[in-house]
Structure 1
Amino acid sequence: MKKLTTFRLSVTGYLLLVIGYRLFSSSRKQLSFIAIFSLLTVYCSLITANAQDSTSIRQLNEVVVSATRANQKTGMAFTNVYQKDIKKVNLGQDMPFLLNQLPSVVVSSDAGAGVGYTGIRIRGTDPTRINVTLNGVPYNDSESQGTYWVNMPDFASSAQSIQVQRGVGTSTNGAGAFGASININTLGYEQDAYGETNFTVGSFNTLKTNVLASTGLLNNHFVVDARLSKLSSDGYIDRASSDLKSFYVSAGYYGKNNFIRFNAFSGKEKTYQAWEGVPESLLKTDRTFNPYTYDNQVDDYQQDHYQLISSFKLNNNWTFNPILHYTKGRGFYEQFKPEDKYSNYGLPNVVIGTTTLKKTDIIRRKWLDNDFYGATYSFDYQSNKKFSANIGGAWNKYDGDHFGEIIWAKNASTADMRYRWYESNALKTDFNIYTKGYYQVSEALNFFADLQYRTVAYDMKGTGDKRQDITQKSDYKFFNPKFGVNYQVSKTTSVYASYAVGNKEPSRQDFVDNAPKAPLAENLQDLEVGYRLAGAKLSFDANFYYMNYKNQLVLTGQVNGVGEAIRVNVPKSYRAGLELSATVKLAEKWKLAANTTFSQNKIKNFTETVVNYDGDADKINKYAKTDISFSPNLICGGQLIYTPAKNVELAWMTKYVSKQFMDNTSDDNRSLDAFFVNDIRASYSIKPKIVKELTFSLLVNNIFNHLYESNGYTYSYIYDKQVTTENFYYPQAGTNFLLAVKVRL
Structure 2
Amino acid sequence: MKKITRFLFLAVAFMFTGLTLAQSTVSGTIMDAEMNAPLPGANIIEKGTTNGVSSDFDGNFTITTEATSGQLVISYVGYSTVTVSFDGSTNLGNITLASDNTLDEVVIIGSGVIDLAEDRKTPIAVSTIKASEIREKAGNFDLPVLLKSTPSVQTVNGGSFGEGQMYLRGFDQTNTAFLLNGQPINGMEDGKMYWSNWQGVTEVSNAIQVQRGLGASKLAISSVGGTVNIVTKTIDKKAGGFVQQMVGNDNYIKSTAYFSTGVSDKGWSFSGLLGHWQGDGYVDYTQGQGQTYFLSVGYQPNENHALNFLLTGAPQWHAVQGGASIRSFVESDRFRRLNPWIYEGVNSPNTLHGENNVYPGGRNIYHKPVANLSWDWTINDKSELSTVLYGSMGRGSFAQARTSGDDVTYARGSNNNHNWYGLVTNYNNQLNEYLNFNIGADVRLYNGIHFRDVREFITVDSVSNSSGYSGGETYFLTEAGGINPWGVFFNPNTDHLQRFGYDYEEQINYAGVFGQLEYAKDNFSAFFQGAVSNQSHVRTEFLNTSTPGQGEEGEKVNNIGYNLKAGASYQIGDMHKVFVNAGYYSRQPFHDLLYVNDRGSNELYNPAIENEEITGLEAGYQFNGGRAISANLNVYHTTWDNRTLVANNGLNDDEFRSFQTFGVKQVHYGVELEVFTRPLDNLRLNGFLSLGEWQFKDNATQRTFNQDGTQVEPDEEIVIDGFNVGGAAQVTAGINAIYEFLPRTSIDANWNWYNDMYSTGSLEQATVAMPSYDTVDAGFSYKMLLGEGKSSLQFRVNVNNIFDEVYLESVNGNIQASSNPEDNFKGVNMDNSGRFGYGRTWNTSIRLNF
What is the TM-score of this pair, normalised by structure 1?
0.81
Q: How do 1:159-170 and structure 2 match up within 5 A?
A: 159-170=205-216
The one-letter code of the counterpart of 2:293 is F
Q: Partner of 2:189 in structure 1?
A: 143
Which residue, out of 326, 335, 339, partners 2:400? 335
Tell me the SS of whatever aligns to 2:529: strand
The answer to whether the aligner puts 1:483 opposite 2:573 as a matched pair is no
Which residue, out of 489, 502, 507, partners 2:590? 507
Give distance in 2, aligned partners of 1:333 and 1:476: 31
The one-letter code of the counterpart of 2:798 is L
Give distance in 2, aligned partners of 1:439 and 1:595: 31
Q: Partner of 1:526 in structure 2?
A: 616
The answer to whether the aligner puts 1:289 opposite 2:354 as a matched pair is no
The one-letter code of the counterpart of 2:725 is I
1:220, CA displacement in angstroms? 6.3
The answer to whether the aligner puts 1:714 opposite 2:821 as a matched pair is no
The one-letter code of the counterpart of 1:638 is I
Relative to structure 1, is the Cα distance of residues 559 and 476 closer, same or farther in structure 2, using a 3 angstrom cutoff? same
Q: Partner of 1:11 in structure 2?
A: none
The one-letter code of the counterpart of 1:687 is L
Higher-RCO chain (CA-CA 8 Å, sequence separation at least 6): 1
Which residue, out of 782, 788, 793, partners 1:694? 793
Q: How many residues align?
A: 656
Q: Which moved more, 1:83-92 or 1:206-215?
A: 83-92
Q: Partner of 1:264 in structure 2?
A: 311
Q: Partner of 2:641 in structure 1?
A: 550
Deviations 1:142-191 (A, max 9, x none): 11211212112121121112221111323444753111111111245443
The one-letter code of the counterpart of 1:588 is D
The one-letter code of the counterpart of 1:184 is I
1:319, CA displacement in angstroms? 0.3
Relative to structure 1, is the Cα distance of residues 608 and 639 closer, same or farther in structure 2, using a 3 angstrom cutoff? farther
Structure 2 segments unaligned to the other structure (5+ residues): 1-44, 50-99, 342-346, 351-357, 466-473, 478-497, 545-551, 599-603, 653-658, 705-712, 816-828
The answer to whether the aligner puts 1:458 opposite 2:506 as a matched pair is no
Tell me the SS of whatever aligns to 1:177: coil
1:487, CA displacement in angstroms? 0.5
Q: CA RMSD in A?
A: 3.6
The answer to whether the aligner puts 1:577 opposite 2:670 as a matched pair is yes
Q: Partner of 1:20 in structure 2?
A: none
Tell me the SS of whatever aligns to 2:202: helix
Deviations 1:563-612 (A, max 9, x none): xxx9954432210010111111122222211111111111113569899x
Give distance in 2, aligned partners of 1:734 and 1:553: 37
1:546, CA displacement in angstroms? 0.4
Give distance in 2, aligned partners of 1:404 and 1:207: 33
The answer to whether the aligner puts 1:639 opposite 2:736 as a matched pair is yes
Q: Which moved more, 1:381-390 or 1:200-209?
A: 381-390
1:208, CA displacement in angstroms? 1.1
Q: Partner of 1:31 in structure 2?
A: none
The one-letter code of the counterpart of 2:338 is F
Q: Partner of 1:473 in structure 2?
A: 556
Q: Partner of 1:401 in structure 2?
A: 449
Q: Partner of 1:240 in structure 2?
A: 286
Q: Which moved more, 1:735-744 or 1:507-516?
A: 507-516
The answer to whether the aligner puts 1:605 opposite 2:698 as a matched pair is yes
Give the % identical residues. 20
1:318, CA displacement in angstroms? 1.0
**Structure of greater Rg:** 2
The answer to whether the aligner puts 1:109 opposite 2:148 as a matched pair is no
The answer to whether the aligner puts 1:660 opposite 2:784 as a matched pair is no
Q: Partner of 2:476 in structure 1?
A: 416
Tell me the SS of whatever aligns to 2:803: coil
Is residue 760–residue 767 contact of structure 2 (8 Å, CA) maintained in 1? no
Is residue 169–residue 500 contact of structure 1 (8 Å, CA) maintained in 2? no
1:520, CA displacement in angstroms? 3.4
Relative to structure 1, is the Cα distance of residues 550 and 224 closer, same or farther in structure 2, using a 3 angstrom cutoff? same
Tell me the SS of whatever aligns to 1:61: coil
Tell me the SS of whatever aligns to 2:369: strand
Q: Partner of 2:143 in structure 1?
A: 95
Q: Partner of 1:589 in structure 2?
A: 682
1:667, CA displacement in angstroms? 6.9
Tell me the SS of whatever aligns to 2:720: strand
Q: How do 1:172-321 and structure 2 match up within 5 A?
A: 172-173=218-219, 175-187=221-233, 189-219=235-265, 221-254=267-300, 255-274=302-321, 276-286=322-332, 287=335, 288-290=337-339, 291=341, 292=347, 293-294=349-350, 295-296=358-359, 297-321=362-386
Give distance in 1, aligned partners of 2:660 and 2:846: 44
Tell me the SS of whatever aligns to 1:164: strand
Q: Which moved more, 1:513-522 or 1:69-78?
A: 513-522
Which residue, out of 118, 121, 130, partners 2:167? 121
Tell me the SS of whatever aligns to 1:128: helix
Is residue 163–residue 195 contact of structure 2 (8 Å, CA) maintained in 1? yes
Give distance in 2, aligned partners of 1:381 and 1:556: 48
Q: Partner of 2:519 in structure 1?
A: 439
Relative to structure 1, is the Cα distance of residues 528 and 339 closer, same or farther in structure 2, using a 3 angstrom cutoff? farther
Tell me the SS of whatever aligns to 1:73: coil
Relative to structure 1, is the Cα distance of residues 567 and 88 closer, same or farther in structure 2, using a 3 angstrom cutoff? farther
Is residue 221–residue 253 contact of structure 1 (8 Å, CA) maintained in 2? yes
Is residue 777–residue 799 contact of structure 2 (8 Å, CA) maintained in 1? yes
Give distance in 1, aligned partners of 2:651 and 2:785: 53
